[in-house]
Chains A and B, each alone.
Chain A
Amino acid sequence: MIPKPKQRKKFFNRRKFCRFCADKDFALDYKSPKMLGLFITERGKIIPQRITGNCALHQRALTTAVKRARALALIPFTETHA
């Protein structure tokens, strides 16, 4: 296979950061589905901290928040069972 000329580097590194640490007003609350919606996928899965850049502490807190919100039917467990 002929190597493509001038192939640009596909990815670049930008430092990810934990949004909960950076912004103290950005409160983590299981009662606000809008905020949790930023950290779950379309299918309702929790997005890994690898992607979001959350720190371990806040990712753990987020996990419990998402699970509580699911229990209260504020956010879905999955999309398919609706």
Chain B
Amino acid sequence: MREYESIYILKPDLPSDVLQTIQDKITEILKKQKGHVLHITDWGKRKLAYRIEKLTHGHYFYCLFLDEGTSISEIERILRNDDRVIKFLTVKLKDKVNAEDRLANPSTPPLPPEELTHSDGYDRYDRGPGRGRSGGDNFPGLEGDDGMGQMNS
């Protein structure tokens, strides 16, 4: 068994029964292929970092599951063909997981990540001409020189 996680983004403002149907579909596919859903978490409506299909917000879902790898293509096919899904990504986390052990020790679902805002210390490396490379103090979070030290000394 392998452990996978899937994140899919739905259009905002969908009725809750639609959200449920999509969850059920995934669970059903996994059951057929002898996979197991560990948890599906609703991250709620979040602001997208860029517009997708002219939408500024999306409804994020996080799904952690065990599978042999056989149902991934089927799950992704369903997500791709459903036009209420605007984005999805599946990542393999672990190979060779013992299903019984893993189901006996369920992990707590991760909290939805905080959104990135401009005050969060984006660095000012490429602000434009006149800044950037010449100023070694442009990196608030990173102390030290800018890697160009030897050339000027």
| A contact set with B: CB distance below 8 Å | 9-16, 30-34, 36-38, 40-43, 45, 47, 50-53, 68, 70-77, 81-82
Chain B, interface residues (CB within 8 Å), range: 35 or more
Contact A51 B125 (CB under 8 A): yes
Chain A residue at smallest Cβ distance from B120: A37
Q: In the complex, which residues 119-147 of chain B have their Cβ closer than 8 Å to any Cβ of chain A?
A: 120-127, 136, 139, 141-147
B114 to chain A, nearest CB (A): 5
SS class, residues of chain A in contact with chain B: loop
Contact B126 A73 (CB under 8 A): no
SS class, residues of chain B in contact with chain A: loop
**27 A–B pairs (Cβ distance < 8 Å), ordered by A:** A9-B153, A10-B153, A11-B149, A13-B145, A14-B144, A16-B144, A30-B91, A33-B113, A34-B113, A34-B116, A34-B120, A41-B123, A42-B122, A42-B123, A47-B125, A51-B125, A51-B147, A53-B144, A71-B89, A73-B9, A73-B52, A73-B87, A74-B49, A74-B116, A75-B49, A75-B116, A77-B50
A81 to B52, CA, bound (A): 11
| B contact set with A: CB distance below 8 Å | 7, 9, 48-52, 58, 62, 87, 89, 91, 110, 113-116, 118, 120-127, 136, 139, 141-149, 152-153
A13 to chain B, nearest CB (A): 6
Inside 8 A of B87's CB, which chain A residues have their CB?
71-73
Inside 8 A of A74's CB, which chain B residues have their CB?
49, 113, 116
Inside 8 A of A47's CB, which chain B residues have their CB?
123, 125
A18 to chain B, nearest CB (A): 12
A46 to B127, CA, bound (A): 14
Contact A14 B114 (CB under 8 A): no
A27 to B49, CA, bound (A): 22
Contact B51 A12 (CB under 8 A): no
A77 to B49, CA, bound (A): 8
A26 to chain B, nearest CB (A): 12
Contact A45 B153 (CB under 8 A): no
Contact A31 B9 (CB under 8 A): no
